[in-house]
Amino acid sequence: MPLLPAILLQNSSRLVSLSSVDIAIIVLYFAAVLGIGFYLKRFTKTGEDFFLAGREMTAWIAGLSFLAANLGSLEMMGWAGAAYQYGILATHWYWIGAIPAMLFLGLVMMPFYYISKTHSVPGYLKLRFGESSGTLAAVCFGLMTVLMSGINMYSMALVMNVVLGWDISFSIWASSITVAVYVFLGGLLSAIFNEVLQFVLIWFGALLISIIGLIEAGGWTGMVARIKHNFPGQDYTHLWSTLGSFDNNPMGIHWVGIVFGLAWVISFGYWTTDFLVVQRVLAAKDIRAAKMAPIIGAGFKMLVPFIVILPGLLALAVLPEHLVGQDQVGVSGSHSYNEVLPLMLARYCGPGLLGLGITALIAGFMSGMAGNVSAFATVWTYDIYRPFIRKVAPDAHYVSVGRWCTLLGVLVSIGTAYFVMQFHSIMDYVQALFSFFVAPLFGTVVLGMLWPRATPAGGFWGLLSGTASAIGLWAWVKITPSALQYVALSPKAKDMAENMYRALWSWIVCVIVTVVVSYLTRPKPVGELTGLVYGFTKLPSESDVPIYQRPIFWAAVVAVVFVVLNIIFW
């Protein structure tokens, strides 16, 4: 027996067992992504090629890659588990918690990112507010990106251990070396190519669960009836009607938190300023493609609940056992919420289809990790290495630095994964740390783009104080749990609600400090705002383009579908 299958099959303690066809499908996937990396190396010669994929991606490629970088396997499994735990409320993170922000990015913010010719979001801040704001954003982003990548890596390896019985170290090293090789070789070009491939595989690997699940449950109506029968007295299938009170829904959240915390601050912060996703759109071939890419991504994002949330709901209807929280797994002997997607995969998928489903999970993990690593390499090279370590060097030198940064990022991620293995609680802290930064960053970027009066000092102090206030609020609740009633406006609020409100407060602090400091300090000369700020930037006219090819038209189509979906599932 060849070595690799022998390793894959070595552990008998597992949720599902793979046949030789399944293993062949997985091995072929690894061969394909590596092959693409080797093939694309010849096209990756300049810094523009390596860090921005030559800026020649079509709207479709950039849009699918934009979404795939976010659609990691942990995202899939985590939200499928959340759907089992909280019901259809989890869909808010895909609809109101994503679509408005993605459309705003495409229509309003993308032109400034694109026209300024920045390589990164910290790079934009540097152009708009100066070195200090850009560096603060770059250091925070770089650090958090590799830490998050390591945590995701460990979590994924843990899932592979539980589901397939794979050795944790084997999962960590095999997947991360593969990602390191193809990003090292082809940079963002290779990452984007593989993300589109991974996006297609994720859909074909996961879609069948929903289709067969609906057949088994008797369609949507049958599924709802079964859930009511299995979990009497709880409403798992309405999006908004249970959000009038913290007590009425399984998430313990109020609509104010969803609308202002999630939909406004967290969602806009993530989708419009997290360089991990924005980098994909910066690679678009022209400004219209850059505007269309997030809109195409939004169209597909609306469909993702069909392969992520619906399996969780179907599990509520058809699984004979009741799943439990991770902390109760050892006590009750049941499976955890987080295993719902693999459980449903094992329920419906025989040989071949199971391999495709597992490949979808691995592909999701790799697309997320490649996104982290390529974004880290760009921010490190352009926003830290070039301004502070070597200001002037040939383009080839920076490409070389980017390549080695890719390996460095992967190695730090692996180190983080092993660190988390020893200290599990660090996982919660780092994820919280990441969320601290996103909401204030959105405040700083959006004021920078839309308010000419915002000054460099205002931008820097707003960002710093917003981040500090988020950390302060988090620490306050950790030290004094009763502070939750002030931070989240209710002592009954759960973790998710606390996150929403903390983000909202930190954003408000960032905006207030930015405005106050800006009025107290001298603004930048008008000439320095050209290409960076609304009102001082000439945006290309689209009047010569047919209406059906304009971004605003497709954004309106997506917005109408978004509203209709929310009404249908109200």
Beta bridge partners of 336: 324
Determine if 200 is a binding residue for other proteins (CB under 8 A). Answer: yes
Beta carbon of residue 362, minimum distance to other proteins (angstroms, whole number) = 14
DSSP per position, 401-417: HHHHHHHHHHHHHHHHH
Q: Which is nearer to other proteins, 32 or 421 (CB)?
A: 32
Is the CB of 29 or the CB of 264 nearer to other proteins?
Answer: 29
For the bound state, the minimum distance from the C-beta of residue 298 to other proteins, rounded and expressed in Å, comes to: 21
The contact pattern for other proteins, residues 209-248, with x = CB under 8 A and - = no contact, is: ---x--xx--------------------------------
CB-nearer residue toward other proteins: 343 or 510: 343
Q: How many CB atoms lie within 10 A of CB 188?
A: 31
Nearer to other proteins, 18 or 308 (CB): 18
CA angle 312, 79, 469 (to 5 degrees): 150
Site string for other proteins, 304-333 (x = CB under 8 A): --------------x---------------
Residues of this chain, 335-394, that bind other proteins according to CB under 8 A: 346-353, 355-356
Q: How many residues of this chain bind other proteins (CB under 8 A)?
A: 37
Residue among 208 and 489 whose Cβ is closer to other proteins:
208
Interface positions, 7-46, toward other proteins (CB under 8 A): 19, 21, 24-25, 28-29, 32, 36, 39-40, 43
Least distance (Å) between residue 434 CB and other proteins = 30
The tokens describing 135, both together, are: 């560096």
- The residue among 84 and 141 lying less far from other proteins, judged by its C-beta, is 84
- Chain positions 57 to 86 lying near other proteins, rule: CB under 8 A, are 57-58, 61
| Cross-strand pairs, 324 | 336
Task: Give the DSSP letter string of 451-511.
Answer: -TT--HHHHHHHHHHHHHHHHHHHHHHHH-GGGHHHHSSSTT--HHHHHHHHHHHHHHHHH
State both tokens at 95: 């609809």
- Interface segment toward other proteins; rule CB under 8 A; list 148-156, 199-207, 309-317, 385-393: 199-207
Q: How far is the CB of 116 from other proteins (least distance, A)?
A: 24
Closer to other proteins by CB, 349 or 463: give it: 349
Closer residue to other proteins in complex, CB, 206/454: 206
Q: Which is nearer to other proteins, 22 or 498 (CB)?
A: 22
CA distance 166 to 415: 19
Decide whether 163 or 454 has the Cβ nearer to other proteins: 163
Dihedral over Cα of 454, 531, 141, 202: its sign: positive
Minimum separation from the CB atom of position 302 to other proteins (A): 22
Tokens representing 244? 């009038």
Q: Measured between alpha carbons, how far is 301 from 298 in angstroms, rounded to an integer?
A: 5
The least CB distance from residue 381 to other proteins, in Å, is 23
CB of 24 to other proteins, least distance (A): 6
Measured from the CB of residue 105, what is the shortest distance to other proteins in angstroms? 22
Question: In this complex, which beta carbon is closest to other proteins, that of residue 36 or of residue 108?
Answer: 36
Candidate list 86, 104, 113, 193; residue touching other proteins; CB under 8 A: 193
Element (H, E) at 29: helix 20-40
By CB under 8 A, name the one of 196, 284, 308, 438 that touches other proteins. Answer: 196
Q: Which tokens is 389 given?
A: 């370590």
Token readout for 184 is 């090292």
Residue 472 burial by Cβ neighbours in a 10 Å radius (0-12, 13-18, 19+): middle
* DSSP, residue by residue, 154-196: HHHHHHHHHHH---HHHHHHHHHHHHHHHHHHHHHHHHHHHHH
Query: What's the closest the beta carbon of residue 101 comes to other proteins, in angstroms?
Result: 27
CB of 349 to other proteins, least distance (A): 6
Based on the number of CB atoms within 10 Å of its own CB, is 553 exposed (0-12), middle (13-18) or buried (19 or more)?
middle
DSSP, res 336:
B
Contacts (Cβ under 8 Å, ≥6 apart) of 495: none
d(CA 17, CA 408): 35
Contact 358, 18 (CB under 8 A): yes
Does the footprint of other proteins cover residue 182 (CB under 8 A)?
A: no
How many angstroms separate the CA atoms of 314 and 341, rounded?
10
Contacts of 236 (CB under 8 A, 6+ apart): 86, 87, 88, 227, 250, 313, 316
Which CB atom, from 58 or from 169, has the smaller least distance to other proteins? 58
Instruction: Confirm or reject binding of residue 170 to other proteins (CB under 8 A).
Output: no
Per-residue binder mask for other proteins (CB under 8 A), 411-450, x = binder = ----------------------------------------
Under a CB-based contact definition with an 8 Å cutoff, are residues 272 and 109 in contact?
yes
User: Whole-number minimum distance, CB 18 to other proteins, in Å?
Assistant: 12
- Chain contacts with other proteins (rule: CB under 8 A): 19, 21, 24-25, 28-29, 32, 36, 39-40, 43, 54, 56-58, 61, 193, 196-197, 200-201, 204, 208, 212, 215-216, 318, 346-353, 355-356
